[in-house]
Amino acid sequence: MQKQNNIIALTEEFLDYINFARNYSKNTIISYRNDLKQFTVFLIKTEYGEYDEKDNKGVDLEKVDLSLLKSYVADLFEQQKLDIKKARKFTNRSISRKISVLKSFFKYMYRKKHITSNPASALGFPKMEKKLPSYLTAPEMNTLLDKIGEDELNFIDKAIVELFYSTGMRLNELINLKMQDFNFSSNTVKVTGKGSKQRIVPFGSKALAALNNYLQIRDILNFKNHEYFFLNRSGKKLYPMELERMVKKHLSKVTDIKKKSPHVLRHTFATHLLDGGADIRAVKELLGHESLSTTQVYTHVSPEKLKKVYKQSHPKA
């Protein structure tokens, strides 16, 4: 077996590529590494009958064909059945992600001529359940913002939630904002998204007021020399779990939806824009989506929009 075709060595090469050349996030790289290791373990067990991490055995990628890839996917579905019995969350979406990782991996291997053909190009995806994103209604969102505003000690919570709702940015995008990213004269913020791609997003007057209130307290606490915009009460950069707990606490007061995460505010931002008549292409740019199809998940018809259309259109409304 040629050493350069060993899947273990080539996996590291691929991970270096998506890290340094494509600027994938740390969490995405970890996810890719785990998925590719799972695939490697399957190949080694198929080739040698057992897997021992200490042996550092590999498999020549040239031996991997479409039939072997389909066997791996079938094995994933078998594991899915076992996980369902154990009440774990292993869905078609998880399998689809693993297939997507394989497609990216083999596409890179073929482009770099480590393999003579790409067996993953013909690999299909499982059918996906259409899952509508969870979001708050306009009254729920207003109640959320009012409740946070009642407590002056929640100045940072208020600023964060207002900014989430006003811009639709992701959690990691928000916690990595720096002072120089804000332009308060034009009410815009420079957001660094996936793949280090940057976009300029406007924010509203209420978000501006909340941000200014936060900055006043930030200056009083003498945090003004820190490069990151949002700091916790200890003057340190926010960490994701800290922010997730805060948002969940406030969402629990106004909604019964299952998943109470910062992403709900992103979903709410997009849904309310589209319900208000915003062009989907503009929403795509604001969210930082690469593909319009990703944004189209928000074109579901909300009850409020349905009632509005009914009242405007039905003669007996």
Catalytic positions, please? 170, 194, 263, 266, 289, 298
Closest C-alpha to 284, from 188, 293, 275: 293
Strand partners, 189: 182, 201
- Chain mean position to CA 116: 34
Contacts 24+ apart (CB under 8 A), 254-259: 254/136, 254/140, 254/143, 254/144, 254/147, 255/136, 255/140, 257/134, 257/136, 258/134, 259/134
**Long-range pairs, 58-61, Cβ under 8 A, ≥24:** 58/1, 58/6, 58/7, 58/8, 58/9, 59/1, 59/6, 59/7, 60/1, 60/2, 60/5, 60/6, 60/7, 61/5, 61/7, 61/10, 61/109, 61/114, 61/115
Do the beta carbons of residue 250 and residue 147 sit within 8 Å?
yes
Residue type, 192: T
